[in-house]
């Protein structure tokens, strides 16, 4: 029997890469859940535009369905839900809101209810083989020290609603009776070969704040390890975990680790150096590199920014409160499970210094995704 993968979030940074790699490296059929309000139903055009898929044999293996993970039965018609339940064997749930500034209610609707509804489909399958959940390493929230690849405590609390809602979603997955895996991803920074960024997240926002000269200071400690991973590498690790039957049923940290990462001090220095190199106009403005300060000092700075009438200062610095505080909770991610499942994982992972300049160059040349 040929495996059939049902994929949510297929149009996201990792979703797109997972789709292409499953088509290239397996014979599986794919059913992609696209949002009802999304891009229409012309599958040939969508596959070409979104995934760069022109190969007709690939196109024939992909079916598109339109739904909504926040709705019961994923917003699918009863008959369709029944039909696909009979053929799906694997589910990859990667759809999520990655915004840090949503209310807890909204974040829970997408990340927790969306996961429950997708698990509902898994429990309804005729031949359920594997449910893979794409999570974040920052479900660890405000915990510090070594974070293990296992269920975590929420007692320390969370920096933002994204962390909390993904933590709660993980709990739903852990309670499921089927075979499930949780892939906890570090922050994705860009492609290690081109520097291209699909989705601009916290580190890009921080770089952008530095670029417009508003990064007066950064909270944390100079030796904080900023764990960032390249998108191409993350998707390859996920695919390798997915297609290796022995690796089912576990939690994995897809992270970089201290020996492949910058410290906060190094990241600021390299950001400054790369901005100077790739944007001479920026260099001429002579912005100073931001100092690293305590959380208390940073909070004072943010509260004064919140009083500002100028919305650039108010909004942009206000956005920092949703992610910058994570820099004051140093942690390292244990990799026992992933090292056992993918022994070459760490050897193949490039040090961030080899591709970070390309990421900065991409950010500057696209005006941080605006062009």
Partner 1 sequence: MTKQETKKTLVFIQKLVNKRSPAIITPNTLLFEDGHLDSMNILDVVGYIEEKIQRKLTDEELVMKNFQSVSTIERTFFQT
Q: How far apart are CA 135 and CA 44, in angstroms?
A: 30
Q: How far apart are CA 256 and CA 211, in angstroms?
A: 25
- Rounded to the nearest 10 degrees, how much is the dihedral formed by the CA atoms of 312, 315, 318, 324? -80
113 touches partner 1 (CB under 8 A):
no
CB-based burial label for 56 (10 Å; 0-12, 13-18, 19+): exposed
Distances (CA, A) of 60 to 12, 17, 65, 76, 86: 22, 18, 14, 22, 19
For partner 1, the closer of residues 125 and 207 by Cβ is 207
30 touches partner 1 (CB under 8 A):
no
Rule CB under 8 A: choose which of 208, 253, 260, 335 binds partner 1. Answer: 208
73 touches partner 1 (CB under 8 A):
no
CB of 245 to partner 1, least distance (A): 35
CB of 58 to partner 1, least distance (A): 25
Interface with partner 1 (CB under 8 A), residue total 28
CB 149 within 8 A of CB 251: yes
Only one of the segments 100-108, 122-130, 218-226, 263-271 lies at the binding site for partner 1 (rule: CB under 8 A); that segment is: 100-108
264 touches partner 1 (CB under 8 A):
no
82 touches partner 1 (CB under 8 A):
no
Only one of the segments 33-41, 161-169, 232-240, 334-342 lies at the binding site for partner 1 (rule: CB under 8 A); that segment is: 33-41
CA atoms within 13 A on the CB side of 200: 15
Single out the residue of 199, 318, 20 nearest to residue 32, CA to CA. Answer: 20
CB of 156 to partner 1, least distance (A): 26
Structure tokens belonging to residue 56: 């007709």
CB 331 within 8 A of CB 144: yes
CB of 87 to partner 1, least distance (A): 26
Structure tokens belonging to residue 277: 């190199």
For partner 1, the closer of residues 102 and 341 by Cβ is 102
316 touches partner 1 (CB under 8 A):
yes
For partner 1, the closer of residues 172 and 207 by Cβ is 207
Backbone φ/ψ region at 158: left (φ over 0), alpha (ψ -120 to 50), beta? beta
69 touches partner 1 (CB under 8 A):
no
366 touches partner 1 (CB under 8 A):
no
CB of 370 to partner 1, least distance (A): 5
284 touches partner 1 (CB under 8 A):
no
Lookup result for tokens 């969508």: 46
Provide the CA 155 distance to its chain's centre, in angstroms: 23
Only one of the segments 118-126, 165-173, 218-226, 311-319 lies at the binding site for partner 1 (rule: CB under 8 A); that segment is: 311-319
For partner 1, the closer of residues 130 and 322 by Cβ is 322
Biggest distance spanned by C-alpha atoms of the chain = 64
CB of 290 to partner 1, least distance (A): 17
Q: List contacts with partner 1 (CB under 8 A).
A: 35-38, 97-99, 101-102, 106, 199-200, 205, 208, 212, 309-312, 314-316, 318-319, 367-370
């Amino acid at each position: 029997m040929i495996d059939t993968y049902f994929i949510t979030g297929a149009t996201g940074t990792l979703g797109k890469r997972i789709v292409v790699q499953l088509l290239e490296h397996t014979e599986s059929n794919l059913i992609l859940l696209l949002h009802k309000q999304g891009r229409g139903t012309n599958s040939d055009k969508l596959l070409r535009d979104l995934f760069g898929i022109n190969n007709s044999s690939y196109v024939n293996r992909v079916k598109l369905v339109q739904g909504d993970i926040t709705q019961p039965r994923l917003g699918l018609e009863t008959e369709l839900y029944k039909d696909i339940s009979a053929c799906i064997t694997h589910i990859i749930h990667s759809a999520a809101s990655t915004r840090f500034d949503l209310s807890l209610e909204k974040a829970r609707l997408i990340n927790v209810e969306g996961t429950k509804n997708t698990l509902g489909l898994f429990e309804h399958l005729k031949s359920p083989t594997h449910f893979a959940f794409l999570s974040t390493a920052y479900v660890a929230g405000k915990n510090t020290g070594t974070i293990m690849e296992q269920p975590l405590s929420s007692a320390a609390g969370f920096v933002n609603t994204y962390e909390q809602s993904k933590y709660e979603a993980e709990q739903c997955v852990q309670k499921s009776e089927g075979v499930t895996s949780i892939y906890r991803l570090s922050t994705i920074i860009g492609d290690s070969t081109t520097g291209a960024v699909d989705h601009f997240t916290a580190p890009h926002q921080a770089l952008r704040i530095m670029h417009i000269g508003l990064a007066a200071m950064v909270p944390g400690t100079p030796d904080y390890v900023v764990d960032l991973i390249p998108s191409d590498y993350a998707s390859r690790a996920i695919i390798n975990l997915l297609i290796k039957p022995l690796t089912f049923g576990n939690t994995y940290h897809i992270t970089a680790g201290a020996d492949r990462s910058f410290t906060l001090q190094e990241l600021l220095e390299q950001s400054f150096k790369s901005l100077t190199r790739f944007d001479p106009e920026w260099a001429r403005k002579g912005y100073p590199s931001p100092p690293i300060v305590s959380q208390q000092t940073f909070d004072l700075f943010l509260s004064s920014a919140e009083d500002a009438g100028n919305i650039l200062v108010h909004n942009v610095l206000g956005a920092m409160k949703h992610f910058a505080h994570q820099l004051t909770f140093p942690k390292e991610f244990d990799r026992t499970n992933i090292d056992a499942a993918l022994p070459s994982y760490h050897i193949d992972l490039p040090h961030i210094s080899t591709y970070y300049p390309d990421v900065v160059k991409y950010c500057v040349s696209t005006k941080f995704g605006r062009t």
